[in-house]
Structure 1
Amino acid sequence: MDNGKRRHKACDTCSQRKVRCNGQQRCQQCEHFNLLCKYSAPAPRPQYERRSTKPAKRLKDTVQAIAPLATSAGVHGASWTAGINGASMQYQAPAEVDNNNNFISLLSDFETFVLPFHPAITMAEAQKAIETMSENQEARAFVYGLIAVTLNLTHSLRSKTSPESSDISKWVSMSLDALRPVLLQEHISVRRVATLQFLHVCFMGLGRYDIAFHYLRQSVTMLEILRIGDSSSMVMLPFTERSQRQRLYWTVFIHERFYAIACHRPALLRPLDTLPEPDGTIPIDINTGFIQIIRLFLHIDDDMLSKWFATCDSEQHIDLAWIVEKHQEIDAETAGSGDEVACLSSRQQVDLLITKHWLRMLVWQIAMSKCLLSSGSSEQSMSLLFPIGISKQLRELIASVSKQDIEVHGSGIQQKLFELTDTIASVVLTVPASSLQERRQRVDDFNFLFRFWKSLPRPNSVQQELLESKHSKLSEMEL
């Protein structure tokens, strides 16, 4: 046989995912997605057996191929059943994995640390998903995603469970294994979109921004299918369901706008005509904080995105008046101000305040990229020294809250703090201070922010290298 045409056996994971496998001991696909790569021994086949082309036989073959993957993911003793047309495919969970009491015990962490920033799913719905996960595969995928995102954002459970159980990648993989494609007779559900958002957040935290984008776009597509942006369709829904879908839409809107800034990708979702209507299923303080973060992200409109993307385009002109007006618009926004955040938890407050500083710095960076700033500007926001003032406020804020209050926001807050800290370092390095004492204070503020950022879980290696380089240069200045 010609070696160039030799066929190799695909691993169990690639077989289940229906992707090309290169047949290596740890194949390229599994290495890329950090999945368990396992090759099952080929079952003996009679010489006369042929592969059937009938739909029922193909479905049975697929189910038999997927079953070993449950074992490879640590789900022992699981079984699959399927209807003849594939419309009623079910996954029977093993008793040792589905200890509902263990999953329910995690709900308190989910409610405290995750729900305030992902309020589309109520606690009652989360508990119901746990109770039905042994019979309902979508519920199972949701619960595994809930565990993954809770671990990703809190890290508090690592001290309570074994290392294997607290492995975020494991729970992400198990959620993906259970999250089957939407079948012919099924409909898109709020719970499925919420699961995709949990996965998006986890992939962002794991540094897999490309895969995070994939699940973000899936969420956007499903929101379009649910017609949440169509007010005439939404008005026909019961009030509670309408409010929940509004919260779901705005959650994805925020994630998409943040991803657009962080990764220079276009945003597809348009703002809804209304903010989420409070319906009583979500605590009032959570709803209040959620509405404030929406109001802040509404400032990242299409105009601002186009100008942010223009920072990489030397030929595109940006008007000075727009910079001044945008700064004034953000400063006039009462969301994230002292009065409005007073009734919120410290976790909610720090998210809003850092986000507002981040927005100001984004606009300043746009102006900087077009050489619109000067050291002698009477307009504070147009001054080269603007980030120095931000550094003082940011240090005071971080020193006033617990590390966990910041850590719980995951990779999103880390990215914002990186943008702020990196910009502050650049200004300290390039803009002369008026005195030795002032220079030392600037360097000290940066060192504080840098040490704090580096202490957060899973810092981005490229970003850390960049900040380390600037830290070294500033240390040399002090000699």
Structure 2
Amino acid sequence: MSSGTLRPPFRKSVKVRQACDCCRARKVRCDGASPCANCTSATFECTYLAVHKKTGPKGRRRVSTQPRYAVRPAVPVINLPPELPAASRPDSEPDSVASASPEPEQLLEDQAGHRYAQLGPHTAGTPVDARLLGGHHGICTNLRDPFGFQPSPLVSTELVALCLDAFFTHKYPITPILDRRQMEAALPHLAALPELYALLTACCAVMVLSPEILESSSPSSPSPSPSSPSAASISTSTSTSTSTSPAPPALPSAEFLISETTRARRFCNYIESPSLTTVQTSFFLFSAFFCLGRDNSAWFYIREAITMLQLLRLHEEDTYASIAPDQAAFSRRLFWVLFITERAYALQRHRLLTLQRTLALPAVDPAGPEAHILSGFLDLISLFQHFDNDFLALWNLPLATPPPAGTPPPEPLTRLQSVLARRGPPPGHCAESQQADLVVSRQWLKTMVWQLCVSKTPLPSSSRSRSRTADDSMTLHYPVTIAREVVAAARDLPRGALEANGVGIVEKVFDIGCSLADVLALAPRAAPPEALAVGPRDCLVEIVRIVGNTVRGGGESRHLRVLVAKASECLRVGVDRGVAVRPCVK
């Protein structure tokens, strides 16, 4: 250094005993003032909430759950109702200060590839009603944290509103578990409500997998990208039409929306402090993975939903006396939706049951606005309530040596077929989407019982081969009768009624078609002449058409490929996939 260069005077730095929370998170020098200079210049809220820990080795270094952010404007503080439980209030959330949080018990990796710690205080002693309601469905995020949750810019309010409108128009009659007014009221506040954001993105993931439903709400809505969760995969093409109507929002992929759900859940202590929203979110995640054909993930989330419901004791009637009437109504409906869904999925995938009939059925007000929806909902419950642990235990048994000819079918199966053979509600009794679900589910359950009968006893080719009192349900050609009922119902119902049920109804029709194809493969020996004379082969071709036309991309679905192969084999002719291609509508 030259002699002409001035040396700055030496200043002894003042030792700051504790940096403020923001400076500590940003790892910048803090002057210890309140507020400090850094927070003042960056318009952050300056707090000293972190508990100062002693120095020295502390074992393995914990993995931070927060990225190192650049300077951002402070998130506005939202005033919450004073009745929020302690576990849900902002000043009780441990994630706000990393140094004050307990060491993570387990590191998890979500589908987006990020690792995070599952944190949260022990709240086992929290009253059931407080854990269930939790203000806005149990808010768990610290809203005062300037580095807290932020919604993705790809999940716009317009997108969520579009998906919600489509859900309540088409799928709500089948799964009446969401309060529309509450969901729509939460839209402007998603940044402050990560738990509701997780629920809505999970619901959107289900809806973007049914683009034909979204198109009915927004005809020019673009299609979602196949699988990529990145912004580059979002279709931003717009119509060249000169219409003055606003362009519909771009649809992210279902996988991206699922990753948003899991990301938002990191900001919620939803395992130790579950809420009704937690159960609803897990159910929609099950639905999304089921539509994607990811069976292990689907089974995981349906079981997670049931576990959370049981943690809240929503499977016990006494719980409902201590919660608000509207919350009790949606909780009761959710229990029965899970009751039906678990049984259907257990039959499809040979699983075990968890939920039993421990709750009263939802009450129906004949003069209420949802009387027709709840009536159809009760009819669907009545179909599945006969399939209990005894039936599933028999269903899940491994195939054994067939019994000798002449062995009668088990009496419980005969009674069950008689129950399913009862006439269902007349058309117009419920919503069209419910009517489609009821008709197909009834015929599908008949097929499941028939398949079990075939595995347990040799069935005759016709009822006359058994006795005068026997009906077709205990004969080998019964799938012909079942398929005829499905084809007739599909012709009477609008296509949108089947589309609203999505992949769930496609898989049931697929099972019916496979059983019909198996019977027709044995036609020379098994099917009676009068059954063949009424066109069971035409029924099979029509079943193929239904499977191919119900959901978008049906011509490439895994169900259609298998069914076309079976139909071609049993009919001894090539079945053109063209019969299942949706006609182009302009």
- What range describes the TM-score normalised by the shorter chain of this pair? 0.7 to 0.9
1:298 Cα deviation after fit = 0.6
Q: Does 1:428 pair with 2:536? A: no
Counterparts of 2:193 and 2:355, CA distance in 1: 30
Counterparts of 2:574 and 2:536, CA distance in 1: 11
Coordinate RMSD, CA, aligned: 3.3
Secondary structure (helix, strand or coil) at the match of 1:431 reads coil
Partner of 2:189: 132
Q: Does 1:63 pair with 2:149? A: no
Which ranges in structure 1 are unaligned for 5 or more consecutive residues?
1-49, 69-80
1:422 Cα deviation after fit = 0.4
Deviation sequence 1:316-364 (CA, Å, 0-9, x none) = 99953222111112224x6xx143x532122111110111111111111
Partner of 1:208: 294
> Which residue of 288, 291, 301 corresponds with 2:375?
288
Partner of 1:218: 304
Counterparts of 1:406 and 1:446, CA distance in 2: 18
| Contact map agreement 1:129 1:142 (CA 8 A) in 2 | no
AA paired with 2:538?
D
Q: Does 1:259 pair with 2:345? A: yes
| Contact map agreement 2:210 2:502 (CA 8 A) in 1 | yes
Counterparts of 2:388 and 2:350, CA distance in 1: 14
Counterparts of 2:256 and 2:150, CA distance in 1: 17
Partner of 1:82: 96
Residues 92 and 466 of structure 1, relative CA distance in 2, 3 Å threshold:
closer
AA paired with 1:195?
T
Moved more, 440-449 or 416-425: 440-449
> Which residue of 392, 401, 404 corresponds with 1:305?
392
Partner of 1:470: 566
1:444 Cα deviation after fit = 1.3
Residues 238 and 140 of structure 1, relative CA distance in 2, 3 Å threshold:
closer
AA paired with 1:320?
P
| Contact map agreement 2:279 2:305 (CA 8 A) in 1 | yes
1:314 Cα deviation after fit = 4.5
> Which residue of 331, 345, 361 corresponds with 2:421?
331
Deviation sequence 1:139-166 (CA, Å, 0-9, x none) = 1111111211222245333641364243
Q: Does 1:396 pair with 2:488? A: yes
Partner of 1:10: none
Identical-residue share of aligned pairs (%):
24
From the two aligned structures, give the one with the greater helix fraction.
Answer: 1
1:256 Cα deviation after fit = 0.9
| Contact map agreement 1:114 1:153 (CA 8 A) in 2 | no
Residues 367 and 180 of structure 1, relative CA distance in 2, 3 Å threshold:
same
1:273 Cα deviation after fit = 3.4
Partner of 1:443: 537
Q: Does 1:194 pair with 2:290? A: no
Q: Does 1:409 pair with 2:488? A: no
Counterparts of 1:434 and 1:94, CA distance in 2: 62
How many residues get paired?
411
Report the TM-score when normalising by structure 1.
Answer: 0.77
1:176 Cα deviation after fit = 1.8
Residues 290 and 473 of structure 1, relative CA distance in 2, 3 Å threshold:
same
Deviation sequence 1:98-122 (CA, Å, 0-9, x none) = 6434432433211111211221211
Counterparts of 1:109 and 1:256, CA distance in 2: 24
> Which residue of 154, 158, 177 corresponds with 1:120?
177
| Contact map agreement 2:459 2:476 (CA 8 A) in 1 | yes
Structure ID, larger Rg? 2
1:437 Cα deviation after fit = 9.6
Counterparts of 1:416 and 1:185, CA distance in 2: 33
| Contact map agreement 1:153 1:409 (CA 8 A) in 2 | no
Counterparts of 1:331 and 1:401, CA distance in 2: 21
| Contact map agreement 1:200 1:216 (CA 8 A) in 2 | yes
| Contact map agreement 1:130 1:139 (CA 8 A) in 2 | no
Counterparts of 2:574 and 2:165, CA distance in 1: 48
| Contact map agreement 1:450 1:467 (CA 8 A) in 2 | yes
Secondary structure (helix, strand or coil) at the match of 1:357 reads helix
AA paired with 2:520?
V
AA paired with 1:466?
V
Residues 435 and 319 of structure 1, relative CA distance in 2, 3 Å threshold:
closer
| Contact map agreement 1:122 1:282 (CA 8 A) in 2 | no
| Contact map agreement 1:133 1:143 (CA 8 A) in 2 | no
| Contact map agreement 2:160 2:201 (CA 8 A) in 1 | no
Counterparts of 1:434 and 1:381, CA distance in 2: 14
